[in-house]
Amino acid sequence: MNLPSPAFYSSELMQAPIFVVDDEPVNLKLVERILGNEGFRTVHSIQHPEQVVEHYRQVRPHLILLDINMPHLDGFGVLQALKQHSDTPLPPVAFLTAQNASEYRVKAFDNGVLDFISKPFNRLELIARVKNLLALEHAHQALEHRKNDLEAMVQQRTEALRKTQLLVMQKLGRAAEYRDHETGAHILRMSHTAALLARELGCGDNDVQQILHASPLHDVGKIAIPDHILLKQGRFTAEEWAIMQSHTTLGYQILQAEESELLTLAGEIALHHHEKWDGSGYPHQLAGERIPLSCRIVAAADVFDALLSQRPYKQPWELDQALAYMNAQTAKQFDPAIMTAFNRRIDDIVAIRAQYQDPAPNTAAPADTVS
């Protein structure tokens, strides 16, 4: 039998730990000597099969040479015990046996055994099978490492794309602020309040984060509203009001992108955040739970902060006055379930307002970070 040259096998393979399990000390010494003479340096001989699991906990071998017929626990029993106590797939297993009966071999293959090494041992056959099985395990481990590396690379690039997307959305939201009365602080307060309400209502972490990052674009459609209407301090004419209301559909048109879950949500919020629970809102007069939950949440968070904020056309309301209005609008403008959560977390909502205060004149708005 022609064996590959030693150079074919890496030193890493020759250092790979090997378990040899046999109740006969003579067999253990023989296998250990054959493999040692060939250059294998980490051969673990185990005479008592019931000790294999304990050895396995301490050293994870790259190959197990396992006798079938042993007292107390045969080779099949050892295999079963290893599978029960291992949280990862077992390395290649080869049975050491003088048995040639087909039922033994079929049962062994059914239990994951990859090869048989016949007794009495043929030195060249033993070496060849050991090297081939180790090479197989080495290739398997290399593929697993490569798979893990690729998965990590995909995760890194996905995270980079996510952060880029969030940054672009934040910049787009900031562009909308420049055309409106709203400040960056209002956007931060509103979005963090919306996220808090979403969590209080039982939304999962991903949905909470999506609402946090999508809600700042709720008024992005105002970019397309003419200044003489957007910045008007008096009452709108019927025609002007219709144009002002169109910021919802314009925002949806700007943001709609089926390939992006976050932009899809932002478009949904932009379109429906002025709908009201009783159906008197716009643009589609949706009512009750026909209004998406995200939009019902943002509506409450947005109106509350707007009431407490100064605008060119109004002075800020007092907290008690704003709370009274919000509760009076329960089941009219606002979802009752959201208002229940709102009142339950009012102290935290007020704390958000204190954290993100409006900037003093001629100073930059408070910055949020991509996360």
What confidence tens digit (pLDDT) does each residue in 247-271 have?
999 999 988 877 788 889 999 999 9
Which residues, in sequence order, are CB contacts of 225 under 8 Å at separation 6+? 179, 243, 244, 246, 247, 250
- If phi over 0 gives left and psi between -120 and 50 gives alpha, with beta otherwise, what is residue 270? alpha
Task: Supply the range of the domain harboring residue 10.
Answer: 6-149
Residues 92 and 191 in one domain: no
Tokens of 240: 């002007």
Residues 69 and 193 in one domain: no
Residues 36 and 184 in one domain: no
Domain boundary pick from 130, 149, 168:
149
State yes or no: pLDDT of 101 exceeds 90: no
What confidence tens digit (pLDDT) does each residue in 16-37 have?
999 999 999 999 999 999 999 9
- Give the separation between CA 171 and CA 211, rounded to whole angstroms: 17
What confidence tens digit (pLDDT) does each residue in 104-126 have?
788 888 888 999 988 888 899 99
Residues 349 and 254 in one domain: yes
- DSSP H or E segment with residue 305: helix 293-308
Residues 122 and 190 in one domain: no
Strand intervals (E) in 98-229: 115-118
Strand intervals (E) in the chain: 18-21, 43-46, 63-67, 93-97, 115-118
Which residues, in sequence order, are CB contacts of 25 under 8 Å at separation 6+? 47
- Give the separation between CA 98 and CA 96, rounded to whole angstroms: 7
CATH of the domain at 237: 1.10.3210.10
State yes or no: pLDDT of 305 exceeds 50: yes
Which residues, in sequence order, are CB contacts of 251 under 8 Å at separation 6+? 217, 218, 219, 220, 221, 222, 267, 270, 271
The count of structural domains within the chain is: 2
Which residues, in sequence order, are CB contacts of 327 under 8 Å at separation 6+? 339, 343
- Give the separation between CA 82 and CA 64, rounded to whole angstroms: 11
Whether the CB-CB separation of 180 and 222 falls below 8 Å is answered with yes
Alpha-carbon torsion (139, 145, 148, 152), positive or negative:
negative
Residues 188 and 126 in one domain: no
Q: What is the pTM of this model?
A: 0.59
Catalytic residues: 222
Residues 144 and 187 in one domain: no
Which residues, in sequence order, are CB contacts of 101 under 8 Å at separation 6+? none
- Give the separation between CA 201 and CA 340, rounded to whole angstroms: 10
Q: What are the C-alpha distances in Å from 22 to residues 64, 78, 96, 154, 220?
A: 11, 11, 8, 45, 74
Which of the two residues, 308 and 367, has the higher pLDDT score?
A: 308
State yes or no: pLDDT of 2 exceeds 60: no
Residues 288 and 347 in one domain: yes
CATH of the domain at 105: 3.40.50.2300
- Give the separation between CA 325 and CA 303, rounded to whole angstroms: 10
Which of the two residues, 252 and 360, has the higher pLDDT score?
A: 252
Tokens of 27: 């067999």
Residues 195 and 294 in one domain: yes
What confidence tens digit (pLDDT) does each residue in 312-330 have?
667 899 999 999 999 999 9
Per-residue pLDDT band for 8 (boundaries 50, 70, 90) equals: very low
Residues 347 and 215 in one domain: yes
- Give the separation between CA 175 and CA 343, rounded to whole angstroms: 32
Q: What is the pLDDT of residue 370?
A: 41
- Give the separation between CA 68 and CA 24, rounded to whole angstroms: 12
Q: What are the C-alpha distances in Å from 273 to residues 42, 115, 230?
A: 68, 66, 18
- If phi over 0 gives left and psi between -120 and 50 gives alpha, with beta otherwise, what is residue 44? beta
- DSSP letter for each residue of 104-127: HHHHHHHTT--EEEESSPPHHHHH
Which one, of 93, 69, 60, lies nearest residue 79 by Cα?
A: 93
Residues 69 and 126 in one domain: yes
Amino acid at 66: L
Determine whether 274 is exposed, middle or buried from the number of CB atoms within 10 Å of its CB (0-12, 13-18, 19+): buried
Residues 128 and 193 in one domain: no
Which of the two residues, 284 and 309, has the higher pLDDT score?
A: 284
Q: How far is CA 338 from the centre of its chain?
A: 27
